[in-house]
Amino acid sequence: MKPLGPIPAGFAIIDGELAIAGRKASDLVVEAGVTPLFVYSGALIKRRVADLYAALPSRVALNFAMKANPYGPVLQLMSELVDGFDIASAGELKLALAAGVAANRISFAGPGKRTDELEAAIQAGVTLNLESEGEAVRALEAGHRLGVTPRLAIRVNPSFDLKGSGMKMGGGAKQFGVDAERVPAMAREVIASGAEWRGFHIFAGSQALSAAAIIETQAQALALAAELAEVSGAPLPHCNLGGGIGIPYFPGDEPVDLAAVGQALGEALENVPQALKYTQFCVELGRYLVGEAGVYLTRIVDRKVSHGEIFLVVDGGLHHQLAASGNFGTVVRRNYPVAIASRFDAEPSEAASIVGCLCTPLDRLAEKGHFPRAEVGDLVAVFCAGAYGASASPAQFLGHGPAPEMLI
């Protein structure tokens, strides 16, 4: 038997079944007309955003990193809830604009921006977080060609990283950002070019659960921003402090102490040096805003036994839930929170592995979990499916195609 990850708060039981935003899993499947499917709870997204605004100092804006969930209705909802959007491609720019996000609320980070992507962003009036000196030259040239003043910030590759984070994106040699020691010279050039100077973007990692680590990283980011601003020779209009607040996926994971993070950031901001006195700050979060609000529902199509082990084979799999299968940036496979949605109130009675329908041994959604006895036709719920699910999985693999998504 292997433990399962913790089921996020906010779900209920109705008639013995899992209920999402007050609606039974089986009713949602009937409405969709098909399994598997993704269901996102608007109420849980709103609650999460409200908790963040309550915890963060009022001087800090909140951005949604839309790569976590680019589903149109989620973007529209998020557009009403948060201050800004972080995008990482011209494709995401289109989706954000189509969802009604004003261009002046959008910033565009990411290595390898093509010239046509830079042009689209400059034309629209989006802030570019420059990832290199070469990109700065191309952005300035594009601005001249278009006759539009580009809005430019520099993404800094800090010398620190977010401790305990699932994905390190700062510290040492990286494809992201510009090494901190080269930033002042580059900032002076960008400012002198006549571009609209927007400041710094300092992102040091993702998926951390330790408030202490997040607090330490934010303090380091503030200190670095102050130092770079002082030697850049201009007031710092804006500073994106990164994000990194993670969600519990695995057995033993605990939620981040958000109040502690907010309080420490508030105290740090009260004591900033002169160079940051008038700076606007933001944090950028993806999975923390949407991850726990999403559930992937899939149906058991076969129940079989091999060498005494029970396998529940479902009609979904890693083509929609690559991360839950353990194949999206994890070193050791551990179980996500997974449950039998159609017997959500039943006591566990047997060990079973829930596997997907793909013809590869990688396709495991739960390994030797403790579940109530489930039969063909029962529904399985994979939780934490609101981020890096539908859009971060190889939907075309083996010809299955994407799963429908629903925001309720």
Ligand X SMILES: *Cc1c(COP(=O)(O)O)cnc(C)c1O
Closest residue (Cβ) to ligand X? 286
Q: How far is the CB of 272 from ligand X (least distance, A)?
A: 22
Q: Given CA atoms 250, 253, 259, 265 in this order, what sign does their dihedral have?
A: negative
Q: Which is nearer to ligand X, 35 or 210 (CB)?
A: 210
CA dihedral 156, 162, 166, 170 (to 10 degrees): 20
Smaller CB separation from ligand X, 328 or 397: 328
CB of 130 vs ligand X, minimal distance in Å = 13
Token pair for residue 158?
A: 């800090």
- Residue with smaller CB distance to ligand X, 63 or 342: 63
**Beta carbon of residue 184, minimum distance to ligand X (angstroms, whole number):** 21
Q: Report in angstroms how near the CB of residue 32 gets to ligand X at its nearest.
A: 26
Structure tokens at 197: 């100077």
For ligand X, which is the closer residue by CB, 108 or 344? 108
Q: Which is nearer to ligand X, 262 or 369 (CB)?
A: 262
Minimum gap (Å) between residue 364 Cβ and ligand X? 23
Residue 220: CB minimum distance to ligand X, A: 16
- Closer residue to ligand X in complex, CB, 68/355: 68
CB of 285 to ligand X, least distance (A): 5
Task: Name which of 282 and 352 has its Cβ closer to ligand X.
Answer: 282
Q: Least distance from C-beta 201 to ligand X, angstroms?
A: 7
Positions that interact with ligand X (CB under 6 A): 65, 67-68, 86, 109, 203, 206-207, 243, 284-288, 387
Residue 142 — left, alpha, or beta (φ > 0 → left; ψ -120 to 50 → alpha)?
Answer: alpha
CB of 245 to ligand X, least distance (A): 7
Closest distance of CB 51 from ligand X, Å: 15
364-92-218-278 Cα dihedral, nearest 10 degrees = -170
**Is the bond into 404 cis (omega within 30 degrees of 0)?**
no
What are the backbone dihedrals phi and psi of residue 242, each rounded to the nearest 5 degrees, phi first? 85, -165
* Cα separation, 190 vs 332, whole angstroms: 44
The smaller minimum CB distance to ligand X, of residues 157 and 207, is found at 207
Residue nearer to ligand X on the CB measure, 287 or 319 = 287
Q: For tokens 């004591």, what's the residue? A: 271
User: Cα(201)–Cα(215) distance, rounded to whole angstroms?
Assistant: 17
**CB-nearer residue toward ligand X: 136 or 357:** 136
